[in-house]
């Protein structure tokens, strides 16, 4: 028998970085479950990915909701299994000094950027274990740098990084590989929200990360387990200190 066709879940896949990641996976012949809160854009993305030859299942909804996460897993199961989960969906929150931050809003940012990815990892682990699969958690340089105004967002990404490393050190993480990826500054809608009214055309489009994704998804998951990557590093020097 030939190798089973790979199946991937990508959250936040209707546009921006998630759409690029899904496109790279489709180019490698991977079937897809794509999720997003933006149903219309998700449908457009699904049509484009299907035309590339992949079977694509759409799950519209907020990934912080348990029912939505379970629909993502069920869709993967219906496609035959699960090899890759990309926790890409993120919430930026307001960019302002910590002294001006409405702490009541922190819960929402944390739920999207850290709690929801962990919950999806828990649900996905049994299917991923069957195929020695891969979890990709999207982080940011704000997780390690004290950038004024970015504290709440950066702290949630720092939490996601620690959750990723801890998962890799626990029993489930010995059967499922986990990596952390910093995609770098890009010209996306979320980044524009951080600088309302400003020209961000000097940032590269998310397509700049495609060479990295092509490389990552061609690796054996066990060979990259526990590593942290910078998707825009020069000369393919993607591996970063964990």
Sorted by where each starts, the structural domains of the chain and their CATH numbers stand as 7-240 (3.40.50.720)
What is the spatial distance between Cα 32 and Cα 14, in angstroms, rounded to a whole number? 12
pLDDT for the residue 69: 98
- Burial annotation 216-231 (CB, 10 A radius, 16+ → b, else e): bbeeebeebbbbbbbb
What is the spatial distance between Cα 48 and Cα 58, in angstroms, rounded to a whole number? 12
pLDDT for the residue 1: 44
Angle, vertex CA 82, rays to CA 31 and CA 67, nearest 5: 100
CB 52 within 8 A of CB 23: yes
DSSP H or E stretch at residue 161:
helix 151-169
What is the spatial distance between Cα 81 and Cα 7, in angstroms, rounded to a whole number? 6
What's the gap between Cα 110 and its chain centre?
15
Phi-psi region of 199 (alpha: psi -120 to 50; beta: other; left: phi over 0): beta
Question: pLDDT truncated to tens, each residue of the chain (242 aa)?
Answer: 446 799 999 999 999 999 999 999 999 999 999 999 999 999 999 999 999 889 999 999 999 999 999 999 999 999 999 999 999 999 988 888 999 999 999 999 999 999 999 999 999 999 999 999 999 999 999 898 889 998 999 999 999 999 999 999 999 888 999 999 999 876 566 655 666 666 656 666 889 999 999 999 999 999 999 999 999 987 677 887 66
- Please give the structure tokens belonging to residue 233: 């590093």
pLDDT for the residue 150: 87
Identify which of 85, 66, 28, 23 has the alpha carbon closest to the alpha carbon of residue 48: 23
């Amino acid at each position: 028998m030939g190798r089973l066709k790979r199946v991937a879940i990508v959250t936040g896949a209707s546009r921006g970085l998630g759409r690029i990641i899904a496109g790279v996976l489709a180019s490698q012949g991977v079937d897809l479950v794509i999720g997003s809160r933006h149903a219309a854009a998700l449908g457009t993305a699904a049509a484009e990915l299907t035309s590339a030859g992949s079977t694509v299942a759409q799950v519209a909804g907020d990934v912080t909701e348990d029912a939505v996460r379970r629909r993502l897993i069920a869709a993967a199961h219906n496609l035959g299994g699960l090899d890759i989960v990309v926790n890409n969906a993120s919430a930026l929150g307001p960019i302002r000094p910590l002294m001006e931050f409405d702490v009541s809003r922190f819960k929402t940012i944390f739920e999207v950027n850290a709690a929801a990815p962990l919950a999806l990892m828990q649900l996905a682990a049994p299917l991923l274990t069957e195929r020695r699969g891969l979890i990709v958690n999207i982080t940011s340089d704000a997780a390690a740098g004290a950038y004024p105004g970015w504290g709440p967002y950066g702290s949630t990404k720092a939490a996601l990084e620690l959750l990723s490393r801890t998962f890799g050190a626990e029993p489930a993480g010995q059967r499922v590989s986990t990596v952390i990826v910093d995609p770098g500054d890009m010209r996306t809608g979320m980044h524009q929200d951080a600088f309302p009214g400003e020209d961000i055309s000097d940032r590269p489009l998310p397509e700049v990360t495609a060479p990295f994704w092509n490389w990552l998804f061609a690796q054996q998951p066990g060979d990259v387990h526990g590593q942290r990557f910078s998707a825009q590093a020069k000369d393919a020097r993607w591996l970063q200190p964990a």
